[in-house]
Amino acid sequence: MKIIISEIEDKENKEEILNFSEIIEEFNKDIPVRAELKVKITDSIIRITGEIFAKLNLICDICLKEFTKDFNIKVDEAFIKQGLRNSYNQEFELKEDCFIEDLNGKNEIDITDFVYQSVILNIPNKLVCDINCNGDENLKKYLKKEISDPRLEIFKKIKIEKDN
């Protein structure tokens, strides 16, 4: 799904409410990702705010079993039509409103890609199916086995003599 910026600019209040619902195959092939987004244009800034609702199939980092996790993500993203890079000739301090994506003159924004990136950025680094997950029995058996490299057996026979 793409939005055309010029179509929103032609509206009286220069805003549009989007109800996004698409299946993003990288997340879940059966359940669509939903989003309720508001696109508002002021001067040369395009601001997208709203919420994204997604259900993802993930794999637990501890027990390696597949599990499903619900995400409810609040978004507030700003875009600028063009000219952001050329505006600053010297160093300046980055503040909260400085994180704006430059569209470089494009007249459309890919909402599907925007939603995809927003969800990806909110997936935690450590994926755990349950707060009490300790792994399954097969994983515990594997971890208890002593893994030894036969090439290193010679080091077990070395005797170290201590000097007085």
55 pLDDT above the threshold of 60: yes
Q: What is the pLDDT of residue 72?
A: 93
Each residue's pLDDT tens digit, 120-154:
888 889 888 888 887 766 666 666 666 677 888 88
Nearest to 128 by CA among 55, 63, 72, 56: 63
Each residue's pLDDT tens digit, 30-46:
888 888 988 888 877 78
Residue type, 28: N
Residue 114, number of CB atoms within 10 A of its CB? 22
Cα 54 to Cα 63: distance, rounded to the nearest angstrom: 23
Each residue's pLDDT tens digit, 65-107:
888 889 999 988 887 776 555 555 566 555 555 556 656 667 7
pTM of the entire predicted model: 0.67
Confidence grade of residue 155 (pLDDT, cut at 50, 70, 90)? confident
Nearest to 37 by CA among 23, 21, 52, 22: 52
Each residue's pLDDT tens digit, 101-114:
656 667 778 888 88
- Please state the φ and ψ torsions of residue 79, each to the nearest 5 degrees: -125, 150
Mode of pairing for the β-strands spanning 100-102 and 66-80: parallel
Q: What is the pLDDT of residue 50?
A: 92
Q: What is the pLDDT of residue 112?
A: 85
Q: What is the DSSP code (8-state) at residue 86?
A: G
Nearest to 144 by CA among 153, 135, 132, 152: 135
